[in-house]
Amino acid sequence: MTGPTASGKTALALELASRTGREILSMDSMAVYRRMDIGTAKPTADERARVPHHLIDLCEPSESFDTARWCEAAAAALAAVSARGHGAIFVGGTPLYLMAFFKGMMQGPGRDDALRQALEAREDKEPGCLHAELAERDATAAARIHRNDRRRLVRALEVLALTGRPISEQQDHFDRTDWLRPCRIVVVERVRDDLHARVKARTEAMLDQGLLAETEAIERSGGFSETSGAAIGYAECRDFLRGRYKDREELRNRIRRNTHQLIRRQSTWLRRLPGIARLAPEAGLDALQAAFESPESRP
């Protein structure tokens, strides 16, 4: 089950898993980090006690974590769930994880450390330059990658430099009709105004729950990696703590604006998925269960 941030997919998945005896496998690229709880809207202790959850809290915020590592962990978790005789529901808003796990990873060139260091140095000197360059040379990839996601920006430009082809073209295996693993996919969709209202309420709630204090505590004890530090909510709180925003109102607005941009990128990815079930949350649990069990939701 997937869908844009704040669409309500987590609550629906919890209800479905509770009804059907399935276990939940998180498909959220930031929920893998320990102590990043408020800003990632992780399931509560009560929710985890109600339904087993996996692929959460896999590493420290200071560690590097990539799609390949997640796919490896996901395969192991799925095997363990299946060995117990249970079904699994993958839930999250990271379409790259969905596509990489169920379609397969792109077989790209190896890393070039010297090139990466040069790209990193350029970004240090002129923040935002890598995203600007990628937008000129591979607009499709730039639309999918946040300007603060330095690791993915460096990789996209590295692939372009080493192969002469945009990374978006080399991910064409995502557009194949065949899938590496069989699956049923349901996308939870909300109308734009409703989604934006939920983002506003969610941002307020996270700040009220102590997102700034959580960010500051992580900074004091190990810090963030480039990837975890680019997570929406944490990136803005880090900027606020460095004095880059005039007040908390600007902090709120920045988080909301960047969340809206993330939703647009997620929606761009999800539009690439043909022949899957799309469901409004108000359709209810019976409709959700029917969508999962229907062959029409199998791509």
Tell me the CA distances in angstroms from 89 to 75, 86, 180, 281, one per residue in order: 13, 10, 17, 17
Give CATH 3.40.50.300 domain extents, the chain.
Answer: 9-106+173-297
How open is the CA angle 156-160-162, to the nearest 5 degrees?
Answer: 115
Q: Identify the architecture of domain 9-106+173-297 in CATH.
A: 3-Layer(aba) Sandwich (3.40)
Domain 113-170 has CATH 1.10.20.140: yes
Give the per-residue pLDDT at 11.
92
What are 55-106's pLDDT values in tens digits? 999 999 999 898 989 999 999 999 999 999 999 999 999 988 998 999 888 7
Q: In what order do the strands lie in the sheet with 88-91?
A: 53-54, 23-26, 88-91
Residue 297 has pLDDT above 80, yes or no: no
pLDDT tens-digit readout, 103-142: 888 777 888 989 999 999 999 999 999 999 999 999 988 9
Confidence tier at 293 by pLDDT (50, 70, 90): confident
| CA atoms within a 13 Å half-sphere pointing along the CA-CB vector of 119 | 23
List where CATH 1.10.20.140 sits in the chain: 113-170
pLDDT at 296 over 90: no
d(CA 84, CA 22): 11
What is the percentage of the chain residues whose pLDDT exceeds 70?
Answer: 96
